[in-house]
Amino acid sequence: MARRPFIAGNWKMNLDHLQAIALVQKLAWTMKDAGYDPKGVEVAVFPPFTDLRSVQTLIAADRFPLALGAQDVSPHEAGAHTGDVSAAMLAKLDARYVIIGHSERRADHREDDALVGAKVHAALQHGLVPVLCVGETAEDLERHGASAVPVGQLKAALEGVSADAELVVAYEPVWAIGSGTPATAETAQEVGAALRRALAETLGEDAAERTRILYGGSVKSGNIAGFLRMPDVDGALVGGASLDPAEFAAIARFEKHVGV
């Protein structure tokens, strides 16, 4: 089964809603000029909560071929949870994806595997596709190698998830995020393959075969093609480089600038 490559831009806590509108317009025009074909690769943006409505309106009005995602979701349905945003609210905004378990949330907000798992359930319940982030710190890498921690995080988050659930897994080594030093394509492949085996063990072979596994951590237009050449890397979760429309569009064009 062919998995459609997925290029996802995580803006993190950057850009207010006016800046977001400007960036998405520029991105859509750049992609159009470059002959972007949504059949070949899916492109999504993940703006902060305050930008989602503006970006959604723009995408819908101008029919931009961009999917929309949020950066976090509450594990709760509704009610007395000040500051939280529910999966139902995101679904109503036509968000298709939601990032869950990003290492910055695991660190800044002490999110553990149980909370990450609860958020995955909340997202799935409302038809959102979780982009489940897993990855090891530099210390984990030294102690356990690259795969052990991400595989453990994946298995924990998937407890009780049904075999037909649609999700995306993002392997993001914590030491590679924002450091300018990405993992090698070989390491991304090794961990991607281990994550796919873990998907097969938890959700079954079909789910393992269809689920897209992304690499994230210092992805740029100059290194994307090497990752996408790997059989178990189906796309990228891009941070810093997604804030530059020309650079992000170049990443989305990975098939054109280097033969894969």
Catalytic (active-site) positions: 102, 172
Instruction: Report the alpha-carbon distance of residue 108 to residue 71 in Å, rounded.
Output: 14
Beta-sheet strands, E only, within 140-203? 168-171
Q: Which of 69, 75, 216, 245 binds ligand 13P (CB under 6 A)?
A: 216
Using CB under 6 A as the criterion, what x/- string covers residues 37-56 for binding ligand 13P? --------------------
**What is the DSSP secondary structure assignment for residue 157, as one 8-state letter?**
H
The number of residues that bind ligand 13P (CB under 6 A) is: 14
Instruction: Report the alpha-carbon distance of residue 188 to residue 233 in Å, rounded.
Output: 7
Q: Which of 132, 238, 251, 252 binds ligand 13P (CB under 6 A)?
A: 238
Going from the C-alpha of 75 to that of each of 63, 78, 115, 126, the distances in angstroms are: 31, 9, 7, 11
Q: Which of 66, 118, 219, 233 binds ligand 13P (CB under 6 A)?
A: 219
Using CB under 6 A as the criterion, what x/- string covers residues 90-129 for binding ligand 13P? ------------x---------------------------
Comparing CB distances to ligand 13P, the nearer of 1 and 13 is 13
Helix (H) or strand (E) holding 200: helix 185-203
Q: What residues pair up with 116 in beta bridges, in sequence order? A: none
Q: Shortest CA distance to 59 belongs to which of 93, 84, 109, 106?
A: 93
Chain residues in the site for ligand 13P (CB under 6 A)? 10, 102, 172, 177-178, 216-219, 237-241
